[in-house]
Structure 1
Amino acid sequence: MTRRLSEAAEKMMRGDIKASLPFDPFAIAQASTDFALGLAARPADLLEVQITAAQQWGDFWTKALSGQPTEAPRDRRFASPQWQDDPYFRSIRDSYLLASEQLRDLVSLGTNGTDSGNATVRFLLDQYLNAVAPTNFAHTNPEVLKRTKETNGANLVQGFAHLMEDMASGKGIVQRRTDPDAFEKGKTIAATPGQVVFQNDLFQLVQYAPTTDKVAVEPLLYVSPLVNRFYMIDLVPRQSLVKWLVEQGRTVFVVSWVNPTEKHKDKGVGDYVLEGVVEAIGQVRQRTGQSPDLFSFCLGGTLVAIALGYLAANKRAAEVNSATLIGSLVDFADMRDWSAFVHEGHLAALEDHLEAQGYIDSLELQRLFAAMRANDLIWSSVVNHYLLDKPAPPSDLLYWFEDGARIPAAFLKSYNRDLLLENKLKDPAGFEVGGTPIDLAAIPTPMLVIALKDDHVSAWQAVYSGARSLGADFILGGSGHNAGVINPPAANKHGFWTNKARPASADEWLETARRHEGSWWPTWTEWLSGKGSKKTVPARKIEDGMEPAPGSYAKMP
């Protein structure tokens, strides 16, 4: 460990560690300054907030000193019974939650005139509040105190050793959200039998072996996002969407993106659409003789929408039978807290950061996504790994999350500026691929958009807005961005909502929507059947596979 720390120090002294940052610290400082000035310009409102806060603290201490119990919050950080049953810990919890609520109300009061600036201030406050939660400190966490007493402090000693080891790794702290040795790709995860049947410089096409005698005429083609490997839809067998679809009599193909290196530096959004999505569609049609049903997730859905616009503009829309976009944005007007990162200063800093290596590293992307869900993906690991000294539990979803991939410089530059910052997809001919203007409103392909109610990446209201602009059918699933997709019917979890009406407001849609128990998967395949021929053909066996699934691209470091 000492040797690794010394090596890291030597690299910093030699200048081997680049000084460039993927964000602009001056933009953060400017947002904070603008917020403070905006707040100072509203003294009456500020005085009202202070008076209200004083009243709230008076009520708090009256209840705390009298021993009156309070309602337990729906916050997993405070799940231990002692947070509710012990007056001391209950008062610590409630005072933290009250102070957090007051600070968030204060931030909502101030404004600096820009969505990015307001989102930046909210993001900074959330990071601070998450960091100072009483659960993160040994002396104010009842579980840690109990564990320390049981081990005579050995948990803290070992936890400090874990901290030093993680820091010496050069990757930063909190690297053990799950057991890295619990799964093996192709054997215990991403293990549905199949073969790679095509590959080019950007992707491998994986076809899965049938398990039924007959299959639906229309094949399925999955387009994944670039930031992670495709096998979120092929986790352990009991959670595998791929396995379930194959068992339903579907021929399933997936696009497994390459993990780009410096040589992919100039591959942009257009390249991934044409050499990736459109090429994959052609390969599936060639192998099956049928136009596929596309389904996609997150950024993969954005690429699919662009590809459909490209095909429609070139009179080739019939090459796709239908398309399903899950947790995907096509209108970036409402990005909520993510708009904190869509700022000219941040984009310029990121472009400078990208220039040297030609891509954004997967670790940097993971840190960003983790920060947006800091309680679940950062601070819970701090408590478990550094304070409680608990072994990281095996989690197939977290294993997949940590198996990140890089994104080429050209792609990220175009995606950030053309789509996120300028929102060019919202306008006809606002964005071009291979010289072809993309008009999403002109897509004739039947489409279904699925949003996730607790999505922290693609807010479901924003996804709903995109569905309306596409003229697509719409389903709202329960749970979050990743977990809401992995919803096998046997688990009977999360639930989902449907509504044939398409009011302008997403909240209006939800008010009149019907809630269903269980998984949206069967409802989705019913929709697919309704858009297809309802015919079957003999199972499509693979006789020309290049290598077993999940393929070498999914295993690239």
Structure 2
Amino acid sequence: MAQKKQTNGAENHAGTTLDQYFAKDPERLAQNLARALEELGKAAASWTEAREKSESSDITAAPLADMIRTFSRVSEYWLGDPGRALEAQTRLFAEFMGIWANAIRRMSEENVGDYARASTTDKRFQDPEWGRNAFFSFLKQAYLVTARWAADLVDGADDLDDITRHKARFYVEQISQALSPSNFLLTNPELYRETMASDGENLVRGMRMLAEDIAAGKGDLKLRQSDSSKFKVGENIATTPGRVVARNDLVEVLQYEPATKNVLKRPLLIVPPWINKFYILDLNPKRSFIRWAVEQGHTVFVISWVNPDERHARLDWADYIDQGIRFALDTIEAATGERQVNAMGYCVGGTLLAAGLALMAAEDDNRIASATLLTTQVDFTFAGDLKVFVDEDQIRALDAAMRERGYLDATRMATAFNMLRAGDLIWPYVVNNYLRGQAPLPFDLLYWNSDSTRLAAANHSYYLRNCYLENNLSRGRAILRGKALHLEQIKIPIFNLATREDHIAPAKSVFLGSRFFGGPVEFVLAGSGHIAGVINPPEMKKYQFWTGAEPDGELADWMATATENAGSWWPRWHEWIVAQDDKKVKARKPAKSKKSLGEAPGDYVRIRA
């Protein structure tokens, strides 16, 4: 009996038994499949109902047409010459023959690896069955060689212009990610085993979540990335003490309670992006830049943008500067008596701040004494994969969709950002949620990522055209209030932070933007990406940052002579701020008037899209 158990264990370890791929209770499996189809029908009904009620406006036609047009350019190169077409087909055929020959060797020899191997960091093919089961091994290898072949077709098409090649690479990557065998029930050994083991219960749970997420997205899929029930803004997220000290129809201005007896004379105004909520800078006490800045002796004010609706349709960048930045400056002066402040802008909030500084320079408004730009682009020549979504046809389609409601729905922009890292932010959750039937774990950063905002029509259209499409801001051609914006008129000191692995504001793009300012620029490159590279408290002792000479020439040349520093860039920034003006005054507390506007984080940040 003991010998028999040992044999069965060996068979299971080697993966030679097939019973794990058969249903334990076929009748129960059939019932669960019927229940899963019922839930899928609810999802389809939500999708259809939203379109019948015009709650969801499809704007996928322009991107789809652009993808087809882009692939047509690639096809023209390879199909335009029979020799090239034959060469491409022969390469793919040779790869498949290599997989076949390798499979034959594995039948007669030991320790023969796969012909096509996934990266050791590729989480899609970690299950042992991808390597030891002949069927799944073939699927994986066929997928890998085909995906690489398709990418090589783009790189090998000599007559493509840079924009078309960039788009083609992006679209090929998106299709490759979508068609991975790991994304489908019958071609993923782990999913298939789990389905058989649970007699399809996973699919019932998954299709129920799919129906809920389409209903939550009002006809569009609002992909859940975190257990949102575990978080509540103001209770266990965005908890740094403070008050709402001013409010208008566009913003609330928050002032935070001091944590030191004395504070720097110049207050700090933070201008966050309106594409997401400001509390990325105040996730929790251990990862809060706002709390840390208060503890260093800064009097911190933060703009909290409203989640726009139809009322804000016509507000453009001039309105966001006047009702946002200038309104906050007026508030700070009234609250502290200080006219000059240090300002900080994050991502598109930094781009708006730069535009505001140029407009204020033209109008002799010198209330901002220094500016810190976090992962901010002012020149969009090397703006990365987001440029794929920006051309005249796509912007026209967006403008038409936004005119109907006065804003761009939050789900649209969230999907675009997720597509930049589809392998991390889309497909793992599709598989885990809807096929495995497992709800995601609570994670504050992903909760924030899913707490998307709508985008006001005029504001978003101005941004896409003047920055991504025409690159007017850095060229002195952007117009606000009838005035041309010239970045070179900004003479104040600039602290310009890029992050090395940024997929939204690439480091090369941020570095290039440094040369357009008219005053001294301190360029710092932090490790990691757009979020983790910025939200990196010193206590965590993670990543690194580079400092060096003035940001001239190319980023690679600057890096060659830069100094690498361990840990967070936050203390370096604080030293830079103090070097501008180290005067201190007695700590200022937010005023508590009879007509209180409420405690931080305020009301606007709680408005869900």
State TM-score, norm by structure 1: 0.91
Aligned to 1:240: 288
Write the mapping of 1:91-240 to structure 2, written as runs, cut at 5 A. Answer: 92-110=139-157, 113-148=160-195, 150-169=197-216, 170-173=218-221, 175-240=223-288
Distance 2:79 2:47 in 1: 44
Match of 2:544 among 476, 495, 517: 495
Distance 2:99 2:49 in 1: 52
Aligned to 2:112: 68
Greater RCO, CA 8 A, separation 6+:
1
- Higher mean C-alpha displacement, 214-223 vs 141-150: 141-150
Equivalent pairs counted in the alignment come to 554
- Is 1:420 aligned with 2:468? yes
- Is 1:455 aligned with 2:502? yes
What is the DSSP-based 3-state SS (H/G/I as helix, E as strand, rest coil) of the residue aligned with 2:258? coil
- Is 1:504 aligned with 2:553? yes
The answer as to whether partners of 2:242 and 2:254 remain within 8 angstroms in 1 is: yes
Aligned to 1:377: 425
Distance 2:176 2:43 in 1: 33
Identity over aligned pairs, percent = 34
Match of 1:37 among 57, 71, 76: 76
Distance 1:365 1:376 in 2: 17
Aligned to 1:433: 480
Distance 2:129 2:586 in 1: 59
Which amino acid counterpart does residue 375 of structure 2 have in structure 1? G
Distance 1:22 1:353 in 2: 12
Aligned to 2:603: 552
What is the DSSP-based 3-state SS (H/G/I as helix, E as strand, rest coil) of the residue aligned with 1:398? helix
Match of 2:567 among 505, 515, 518: 518
Residue by residue over 1:165-195, the C-alpha shift from the partner in whole angstroms, topping out at 9 and shown as x without a partner, is: 4345544346221011111111100111100
Report deviation, 1:395.
1.0
Report deviation, 1:553.
1.0
Question: Kindly tell me: are residues 513 and 45 of structure 1, through their superposed partners in 2, closer, same or farther at Cα, counting changes over 3 Å?
Answer: farther
Distance 1:514 1:50 in 2: 48
Distance 1:414 1:111 in 2: 34
The answer as to whether partners of 2:51 and 2:219 remain within 8 angstroms in 1 is: no
Q: Which runs of 5+ in 2 are unaligned?
A: 1-38
Residue by residue over 1:343-368, the C-alpha shift from the partner in whole angstroms, topping out at 9 and shown as x without a partner, is: 11111111111111111111111111
What is the DSSP-based 3-state SS (H/G/I as helix, E as strand, rest coil) of the residue aligned with 2:496? strand
Report deviation, 1:250.
1.5
Distance 1:111 1:417 in 2: 29
What is the Cα-based RMSD across aligned positions, in Å? 2.7
Residue by residue over 1:288-346, the C-alpha shift from the partner in whole angstroms, topping out at 9 and shown as x without a partner, is: 315221111110010011111112222233x1121111111100112232222221111
Question: Kindly tell me: are residues 16 and 38 of structure 1, through their superposed partners in 2, closer, same or farther at Cα, counting changes over 3 Å?
Answer: same
Match of 2:516 among 469, 472, 496: 469
Distance 1:111 1:548 in 2: 60
- Higher mean C-alpha displacement, 139-148 vs 537-546: 139-148
Report deviation, 1:387.
2.4
Report deviation, 1:285.
3.3
- Higher mean C-alpha displacement, 322-331 vs 52-61: 52-61
Distance 2:82 2:489 in 1: 51
Distance 1:240 1:314 in 2: 35
Question: Kindly tell me: are residues 503 and 327 of structure 1, through their superposed partners in 2, closer, same or farther at Cα, counting changes over 3 Å?
Answer: same
Distance 1:8 1:105 in 2: 37
- Higher mean C-alpha displacement, 236-245 vs 78-87: 78-87
What is the DSSP-based 3-state SS (H/G/I as helix, E as strand, rest coil) of the residue aligned with 2:230? coil
Residue by residue over 1:234-282, the C-alpha shift from the partner in whole angstroms, topping out at 9 and shown as x without a partner, is: 1022111111111222111111011111111110111112221223223
What is the DSSP-based 3-state SS (H/G/I as helix, E as strand, rest coil) of the residue aligned with 1:537? strand
Question: Kindly tell me: are residues 72 and 349 of structure 1, through their superposed partners in 2, closer, same or farther at Cα, counting changes over 3 Å?
Answer: closer
- Higher mean C-alpha displacement, 154-163 vs 547-556: 154-163
Match of 1:327 among 366, 375, 391: 375
Residue by residue over 1:402-425, the C-alpha shift from the partner in whole angstroms, topping out at 9 and shown as x without a partner, is: 111111111122112222211111
Which amino acid counterpart does residue 76 of structure 2 have in structure 1? L
Which amino acid counterpart does residue 112 of structure 2 have in structure 1? Q
Distance 1:205 1:250 in 2: 16
- Is 1:484 aligned with 2:533? yes
Question: Kindly tell me: are residues 101 and 510 of structure 1, through their superposed partners in 2, closer, same or farther at Cα, counting changes over 3 Å?
Answer: farther
- Higher mean C-alpha displacement, 148-157 vs 388-397: 148-157
Question: Kindly tell me: are residues 524 and 94 of structure 1, through their superposed partners in 2, closer, same or farther at Cα, counting changes over 3 Å?
Answer: farther
The answer as to whether partners of 2:47 and 2:219 remain within 8 angstroms in 1 is: no
- Is 1:312 aligned with 2:356? no
The answer as to whether partners of 1:122 and 1:337 remain within 8 angstroms in 2 is: no
Report deviation, 1:160.
3.0
Match of 2:577 among 528, 534, 547: 528
Report deviation, 1:92.
4.8
Question: Kindly tell me: are residues 360 and 106 of structure 1, through their superposed partners in 2, closer, same or farther at Cα, counting changes over 3 Å?
Answer: same
The answer as to whether partners of 2:344 and 2:372 remain within 8 angstroms in 1 is: yes
Write the mapping of 1:354-373 to structure 2, written as runs, cut at 5 A. Answer: 354-373=402-421
Q: Which runs of 5+ in 1 are unaligned?
A: none
The answer as to whether partners of 1:196 and 1:547 remain within 8 angstroms in 2 is: yes
Which amino acid counterpart does residue 152 of structure 2 have in structure 1? D
Which amino acid counterpart does residue 420 of structure 1 have in structure 2? Y
The answer as to whether partners of 2:238 and 2:279 remain within 8 angstroms in 1 is: yes
Report deviation, 1:466.
0.7
Which amino acid counterpart does residue 133 of structure 1 have in structure 2? S
Question: Kindly tell me: are residues 107 and 539 of structure 1, through their superposed partners in 2, closer, same or farther at Cα, counting changes over 3 Å?
Answer: same
State TM-score, norm by structure 2: 0.84
Distance 1:551 1:294 in 2: 21
Question: Kindly tell me: are residues 19 and 153 of structure 1, through their superposed partners in 2, closer, same or farther at Cα, counting changes over 3 Å?
Answer: closer
Distance 1:215 1:15 in 2: 53
Report deviation, 1:94.
4.7
Aligned to 2:326: 278
Question: Kindly tell me: are residues 220 and 46 of structure 1, through their superposed partners in 2, closer, same or farther at Cα, counting changes over 3 Å?
Answer: farther
What is the DSSP-based 3-state SS (H/G/I as helix, E as strand, rest coil) of the residue aligned with 2:245? strand
Aligned to 1:539: 587
Question: Kindly tell me: are residues 29 and 253 of structure 1, through their superposed partners in 2, closer, same or farther at Cα, counting changes over 3 Å?
Answer: same
Question: Kindly tell me: are residues 224 and 310 of structure 1, through their superposed partners in 2, closer, same or farther at Cα, counting changes over 3 Å?
Answer: same
